[in-house]
Amino acid sequence: MITVSIVSHKQFHQVLNCIQSFERHSKSKFFYIITINISEVFSENNLRKITKNYKIIINEKPLGFGANHNNASKGVVSGTFIVCNPDIDIVHFDIEKFESYESENQFLAPQVQIRRNDNSYYDFRDFPSFLNIFNRQFRKLILRTKNNQKETNSLKYSWFPGYFMVFDIKIFKSIGGFDSSFFMYCEDVDLCLRLKKQKQKINLSNNIVVNHIGQFSSNKRPKYFILHIMSLLKLNFKMYKGYY
C-alpha cells in the first residue's frame, strides 16, 4: 500500500481531483490521509464515490507544511509515503515499474518528473540560494519574463520540491521527518540536506510524471516572498551551525 498525505487549505475540491488522478492508475494501491488544515465545508460522500481507502484529520488550528505531513506519517509503519499538494494531477504512474525500481535500486527518496501546464519540466539540480531567488523575482517583477528551466536527463539531484515527494517511510522517520519550525517554505530543502548528510542519493524516477498547477504565491505576493526569504535565512543559519 502506498500512503498519500494531502493537506487542504479550503481546497477540498482540488483534493478530490487529485485523488481521482491517482485512482486512474490504480484503485487498490493507494491509501489517502487528508488533513483539513483550515475549517471548510466538504462532502465526504463525494470522497467515498472515488475511494474508501482514506482517513481524514481535522485540525483545531492551522499547522505548517511540515507539521501536517509529520502528523499524517505517524500511523504509517511501512511502504511508500507520498507528500502531495492538492493541486497535483498524476499524469503517469506505472505502479509495477515503480515497485520494481524501488526493489532493485533500494532508492530512498526518488525524484519525479514534475511538469508545468505548458508541458515543460522543472529542473531541481541545485540547492536554492539568495542569488537564484533574487534572480527569479527580478525576472518576474522587473523584466516581466518567465523563468524557463530546461528539462534535464540527469538522474542525480540535490533536492526535490515539497509539492510532490516520495519516500520510503522508514527513511523519512529515521531522519525525523520535516523540521516543523520552518512552517512555510524550505522544509523540502532542509530535509534533502539532511538526506545528503546521511549519504543518501535522490534519484529521478521516470515511472511517475505529475502536473503541478501551482499558484506559486512567493512569486506573486510580497508577503510570501518575505516568508520565503525568512525561511532561507533559517536554512543558512542551520548550515552555519553545522546541522548539514
Q: Is residue 167 part of a domain?
A: yes
Residue-level pLDDT at 70: 98
Q: Which residue has the higher pLDDT, 157 or 59?
A: 59
Enter the pTM of the model.
0.84
Please tell me the total count of domains within the chain. Answer: 1
Beta pairing class for 88-93 and 202-212:
antiparallel
Q: Domain containing 194: what range?
A: 2-115+154-212
> Whose CA is closest to 177, among 165, 198, 191?
191
Q: Is residue 86 part of a domain?
A: yes
Q: Is residue 139 part of a domain?
A: no
Q: Is residue 143 part of a domain?
A: no
97-146 pLDDT, tens digit each: 888 776 665 555 556 777 776 777 766 656 666 566 556 555 554 555 55
CATH number of the CATH domain containing 84 = 3.90.550.10
Q: Is residue 89 part of a domain?
A: yes
129-138 pLDDT, tens digit each: 656 655 655 5
Q: Is residue 132 part of a domain?
A: no
Element (H, E) at 150: none
The angle formed by the CA atoms of residues 171, 73 and 48, to the nearest 5 degrees, is 135
Residue-level pLDDT at 88: 94
The per-residue b/e assignment along 199-237, b for 16 or more CB within 10 angstroms, e otherwise, is: ebebbbbbbbbbbbbbeeebbeeeebbebbbebbebbee
Q: Is residue 227 part of a domain?
A: no
Q: What residues contact 174, with CB distance under 8 A and at least 6 apart?
A: none
